[in-house]
Amino acid sequence: MISLRSPFGWVLRLMAVLTFIYLLGPLFVIVAASFSDTGYLAFPPQGFSLRWYRQALGDVRYLNGFFVSLRLAGTVAVLSLVIGTAAAVALTRFRFPGRALLEAIFLSPLVLPGLVLAVALTLFYAAHPVAPPGLPRLIISHLLVGVPLVLRVMLPVLKRVDPALEEAAQNLGAPPLQAFFLVTLPALKPGLFAAAALAFIFSFDEVEMALFLGSARDAPLTVVLYGAAQMQMDPTVAAVSAMLILLALILMVAQQAYANR
Amino acid sequence: MHASARRGLVAAGLLAPAALVFALLFVWPQLGLFLQSMPAGAPLAQYERFLGDSYYLGVLGNSLLLGLCVTLVTLVLGFPLAFLLARAETRWAGLLLLLTSFPLWVSAVVRSFAWMVLFFRNGVASRLLQSTGLVESNFQLIGTFAGVVIALAQVLLPIMIVTLYAVIRGIDRDLEHAAMSLGASPVVALWLVTIRLARGGILAGSLLVFSLSVSAFATPSLVGGARAHFMAVTIYEQTLELLDWPFAAAIAAILLAISISVALTYGRLLGDAKEQAR
């Protein structure tokens, strides 16, 4: 193998370190700037103060946005998990013509631009108001990406679980449904957790559909932040961003801890 | 016979919710988008308007150029890091890979805002450039094409690294060793062996990042500022601000055509690569 101690190895290392700084530096900058004791955004921060956090936590727009986002992402994660896992079971445990094609079609929203999906849905709802505007509309729209995300995680997981185990349980007298819940489902648990986390994060972080389909009253946090960031360089936005970075960190650590259990 | 019919019914029942979501929210709206972009009487008028106006052609060119620049930057920066992570033998490698993908857990809005902090007139990056004397004293990177490239490349870099990492992990490191024991320098071994074998992954990552940059919205609109002439930002303006839906639908259809052709090229190139490997 290529020695990492050779001069060439050191060049590679130097590039990797610089790339690492480029990748994570901006997140560090925003956290540091959020503690600055100045009336404007300052990096490096001057002084230390929590006043931007107090301001952010006292701001109804951010608080409301956070709870709207939690409701949105929680509902999307649960619905995507149920709908996506059911479809994944059908696609892996049953043989029928056109199965591979159906799988490819179901996954296709993942490769299309979110903005195009958002525009198409905006025009669609204007002509066919199938869901009330605001949060319900946004929830069912997020399923369009949430379900494929769950499918992408669960299809390989289900392919790895041997169907013979479930058949064995059935041969021993368990009804099919009971065999599934007692034998297959426990083996799927880590996959289910990862899939739900993925759908939750997508929905919580998504901004294009939220901008197009959300109502002003039920604006998710990303939409509130997008509007605030466009207006001015407000340190409160940095404080909210820093809290979101912390939340993402906690979620990632929890997901890892669960996966490595 | 009776049992197989029941099995078929169960399969249909399991698939029905996903099929409903897909038909109602994907197939129907996408068809509606095409129909709305071609009003009766003058079906191609919206497309002619886009392709006949040098301003909109400039927007398209800008987005394609952005895709090209971001792909190059993420490839050049991503490969060394992905290579080191894939070849490292310390227990830190797993943690470093995790940290590399961490930005994907944070909204693009937050990550773009971080760049705005660095890029505005008094931001560190802008002041650094001002101090070199190459730019005017009130220069800021916000609103510049270079600023959007720097920010968007950082936003999409984890996707490139994760794709490359998976491919490099699959390449036997003994092949590099063999090339070097036959007299190749590390650079030549990397070029002739690793990069050749990682071609599929390099292509996959590049096409993915290209497609995502051409259609990116949050970063170009925040870092690019009010004068961000990119496809997604233009579609946003036409849909929500100017309310010109047939035109917005036409531009969205053009963007969709670009994404689909990139996805198809990707599939074909991958097929070719598999055939060559045989």
Region B122-127: mean pLDDT is 76
The answer to whether residue A2 sits within a structural domain is no
Interface A-B: count of C-beta contacts within 8 A? 249
Q: Do A113 and B112 touch (CB under 8 A)?
A: no
Confidence of residue A95 (pLDDT cuts 50, 70, 90): confident
A204 close to B (CB below 8 A): yes
Three-class secondary structure of residue A38 per DSSP: coil
Residues A58 and A45 reside in one and the same domain:
no
CATH number at residue A146: 1.10.3720.10
Round to whole Å and give the CA distance between B38 and B50. Answer: 13
For residue B236, what is the domain's CATH number? 1.10.3720.10
Residue A6 CA to its chain's centroid (Å): 41
Structural domain including B165 reads 47-105+156-277
Instruction: Output the pTM of the full model.
Output: 0.88
Tell me if chain B has a CB within 8 Å of the CB of A141. yes
Burial of A113 (0-12, 13-18, 19+ CB in 10 A): buried
The reply to whether B147 falls in a domain is no
Q: State mean pLDDT over A129-151.
A: 91
**Residue A1 forms part of a structural domain:** no
What CA–CA distance (Å, rounded) separates A116 from B249? 9
CB atoms < 10 A from the CB of A54, how many?
A: 12
Residue B220 within a domain:
yes
Query: Residue with structure tokens 């995680």?
Result: A153
Contacts of B119 (CB under 8 A, 6+ apart): B125, B126, B140, B141, B142, B147, B151, B223
Residue B99 reports pLDDT greater than 70: yes
Q: Chain A residues with CB inside 8 Å of B96's CB?
A: 20
Locus of tokens 């949105």: A72
B266: pLDDT strictly greater than 90: no
Q: Structural domain tally of chain B?
A: 1
Domain region containing A138: 52-259
Residue B213 lies in a domain: yes
Asked if A252 and B102 come within 8 Å (Cβ–Cβ), the reply is: yes
Per-window interface: A 213-242 vs B, CB < 8 A: 222, 225-226, 229-230, 233, 237-238, 241
Whether A102 and A21 map to the same domain: the answer is no
- Substitution target in B10, B20, B26 with the highest count of A β-carbons within 10 Å is B26
Residue type, B207: L
Render B103-140 in DSSP notation, one character per residue. Answer: GGGS-HHHHHHHHHHHHSTTSHHHHHHHHTTSS-TT--
Q: Are A91 and A200 in the same domain?
A: yes
The answer, for A119 touching chain B at a CB cutoff of 8 Å, is yes
Residue A151 and residue A212 share a domain: yes
| Contact between B33 and A119 using a beta-carbon 8 Å cutoff | yes
The predicted structure's pLDDT at residue B270: 62
Q: In terms of Cα–Cα distance, which of A218, A215, A224, A222 is closest to A247?
A: A222
Residue A144 binned pLDDT confidence (cut-offs 50, 70, 90): very high
A:30-89 residues touching chain B, CB 8 A cutoff = 30, 33, 40-41, 43-44, 82-84, 86-87, 89
Determine whether the interchain pair B33/A226 forms a contact, defined as Cβ–Cβ distance below 8 Å: no
Q: Is residue B82 assigned to a domain? A: yes
Partner-chain residue, chosen from B22, B29, B232, that has the shortest CB–CB distance to A120: B29
Chain A closest CA to B278's CA: distance in Å? 23
The token pair at A160 is: 């790895």
Q: Alpha carbon A254 to chain centroid distance? A: 14
Residue B144 lies in a domain: no
Residue B272: pLDDT over 70: no
CA B126 to chain A, closest CA, distance in angstroms equals 12
* A26 contact B CB<8A: yes
Q: Do the chains contact at A116 and B118, CB–CB below 8 Å? A: no
Q: Any idea which residue has 């895709």 for tokens?
A: B67
Question: Residue A19: which of B80, B118, B259 has the nearest Cβ?
Answer: B80
B215 vs A225: CB contact, 8 Å cut-off?
no
pLDDT of residue B161: 93
Residue A162, amino acid: D
B65 in a structural domain: yes
Query: Which of A3, A11, A12, A19 to mutate to test binding with chain B, by most B CBs within 10 Å of its CB?
Result: A19
> What percent of chain A stands above pLDDT 70?
98
Reported confidence tier of residue B277, pLDDT bands at 50, 70, 90: low
Which residues of chain A does B221 touch, with a Cβ-Cβ cutoff of 8 Å? 230
Residue A24 has pLDDT above 50, yes or no: yes
Mean pLDDT of A48-77: 91
Percent of chain B residues topping a pLDDT of 70: 95
Q: Does A207 touch chain B (CB under 8 A)?
A: yes
For residue A50, the distance in angstroms to the closest alpha carbon of chain B comes to 18
Q: How far apart are CA A146 and CA A138, in angstroms?
A: 12
pLDDT value at residue A70: 94
* Whether A34 and A71 share a structural domain: no
Say if residue A221 is in the same domain as residue A158.
yes
Q: Is residue B67 part of a domain?
A: yes
Our CA angle for A111, A117, A123, nearest 5°, is 160
Higher local confidence (pLDDT), B181 or B243: B243
**Residues B53-82: tens digit of each pLDDT:** 889 999 999 999 999 999 999 999 999 899
Query: Considering its fold, how many domains does chain A have in total?
Result: 2
What confidence tens digit (pLDDT) does each residue in B234-264 have? 999 888 888 888 899 999 999 999 988 888 8
Same domain membership, residue A58 and residue A42: no
Per-chain mean pLDDT for chain B: 85
Clarify whether residues A65 and A42 are in a common domain.
no
- In the predicted model, what is the mean pLDDT of chain A? 87
Cis geometry, peptide bond prior to residue A44 (ω within 30 degrees of 0): yes
Query: What pLDDT does residue B276 have?
Result: 55
Residues A80 and A201 reside in one and the same domain: yes
Q: Which of the 8 DSSP states describes residue A161?
A: S
| Residue B278 pLDDT | 47
Contact across the interface for B105 and A201, Cβ inside 8 Å? yes
Is there a contact between B99 and A24 if contact means CB atoms under 8 Å apart?
A: yes
By Cβ distance, the residue of B118, B176, B185 closest to A26 is B118
- Of the candidates B108, B116, B218, the one whose C-alpha atom is nearest the C-alpha of residue A245 is B108
Residue at B141: amino acid letter: L
Residue to mutate among A10, A95, A115, with most B CBs inside 10 A, is A115
A158 shares its domain with A213: yes
**Taking the C-alpha atoms of B50, B226, B70 and B116 in order, what is their torsion angle to the nearest 10 degrees?**
-170
Q: Which amino acid is at A138?
A: L
A183 and A169 fall within a common domain: yes
Whether residue A159 is found in the same domain as residue A74: yes
**Under an 8 A CB cutoff, do A22 and B154 touch?**
yes
A19 contacts B81 by C-beta, under 8 angstroms? yes
Least confident piece of the model among A38-52, A120-134, B245-259: A38-52
Mean pLDDT of B102-130: 85
Q: What is the DSSP string of chain B?
A: -HHHHHHHHHHHHHHHHHHHHHIIIIIHHHHHHHHHHS-TT-TTHHHHHHHT-HHHHHHHHHHHHHHHHHHHHHHHHHHHHHHHHHH--STHHHHHHHHHHGGGGS-HHHHHHHHHHHHSTTSHHHHHHHHTTSS-TT--STTSHHHHHHHHHHHHHHHHHHHHHHHHHTS-HHHHHHHHHTT--HHHHIIIIIIHHTHHHHHHHHHHHHHHHHT--HHHHHHSGGG---HHHHHHIIIIIS--HHHHHHHHHHHHHHHHHHHHHHHHHHHHHHHHH-
Could you tell me if residue B219 is inside a domain?
A: yes
What's the average model confidence in pLDDT over A164-172?
Answer: 81
